Amino acid sequence: MRIATWNINSVNARLETVLAWLGEHQPDVACFQEIKCVDEKFPREPFESLGYNVETHGQKSYNGVALLSKLPISDVRKGLPGDPSDEQARYIEAVIEAPRPVRVGGLYLPNGNPLGTEKFAYKLGWFDRLNAHARDLLALEEAFVLCGDYNVIPTPDDARDPSAWVDDALFQPESRAAFRALCNLGLSDSHALGHEPAGTYTFWDYQAGAWQRDHGIRIDFHLLSPQAADRFGGIQTHRQAREMDKPSDHVPVVVTLED
């Protein structure tokens, strides 16, 4: 099973780019972040024509996540548990009904900027809720993957120029500690499992020639439960997607789990 995660930065603005990539690479499952539309405005038909079942958790103009699968989907969850008042569409989860099922959670973790505001507190609170949900999933002792845009730079090695991010919410000690705490529950980062080389980035800002200068950061991850890590078969970061027409500022990351 090949599972992709990709912050597409507006499904309707980049529909042809996303469809072209899907058509070429044909992942079994795709988790999108920042679809930036309500569910009714998500262009389901083009994805269904490629053979995907589609589930969305959208929000007008902002955020929004989607889960696509060529296999049947069950037990769909929309929204991260722990705060019924949270109206931001940032989490979707389902069981992918393969011969050996896998639960997949697609997430768009809050950015948290600017520092010193409620946005950073919301980011850390969301991280706490994700940590609690991951604990509950681990108790099920099943294969699951939590993938998406985590909006955190875990280590200096995950940025071309760490000094440029010292005042950014993505690189604060609290953000990095929250990510470590999540991994320390027993989840494995597929980047490490696959021994990807230093300088494997997943995001380059549109501004200041970041792509041309390779001033990237790694903020898109697949975290695997022990049962999923046992089936890990490889990882590919599709850097070339940043050179497509009308690209997202993120690129897809694809993990393979053996059947």
Quick: pLDDT tens for 17-62.
Answer: 999 999 999 999 999 999 999 999 999 999 999 999 999 999 999 9
Read off the tokens for 221: 């991850």
Distance from first CA to last CA of the chain, Å, rounded?
A: 7
Average pLDDT on 158-175 reads 98
Q: How many domains does one find in the chain? A: 1
- Predicted confidence at residue 163, as pLDDT, reads 98
Domain housing 41: 2-257
Average pLDDT on 140-160 reads 98
- Predicted confidence at residue 255, as pLDDT, reads 98
- pLDDT tens-digit map of 50-98: 999 999 999 999 999 999 999 999 999 999 999 999 999 999 999 999 9
- Predicted confidence at residue 84, as pLDDT, reads 95
- Predicted confidence at residue 234, as pLDDT, reads 98
Q: Which residues are annotated as a binding site for Mg(2+)?
A: 7, 34, 149, 151, 249-250
- Cα separation, 60 vs 36, in Å, equals 6
Please enumerate in sequence order all residues whose Cβ is within 8 A of that of 234, keeping only pairs 6 or more positions apart, or say none: 194, 255, 256
Average pLDDT on 214-241 reads 98
- Cα separation, 74 vs 68, in Å, equals 12
- Cα separation, 254 vs 222, in Å, equals 8
Whole-number mean pLDDT of the chain? 98
Catalytic residues: 108, 149, 250
Share of the chain above pLDDT 90, in %: 99
* pTM, full prediction: 0.98
- Predicted confidence at residue 132, as pLDDT, reads 98
The CATH number given to whatever domain includes residue 136 is 3.60.10.10
pLDDT band at residue 252 using 50, 70 and 90 as cut-offs: very high
Q: Which residues are annotated as a binding site?
A: 7, 34, 149, 151, 249-250
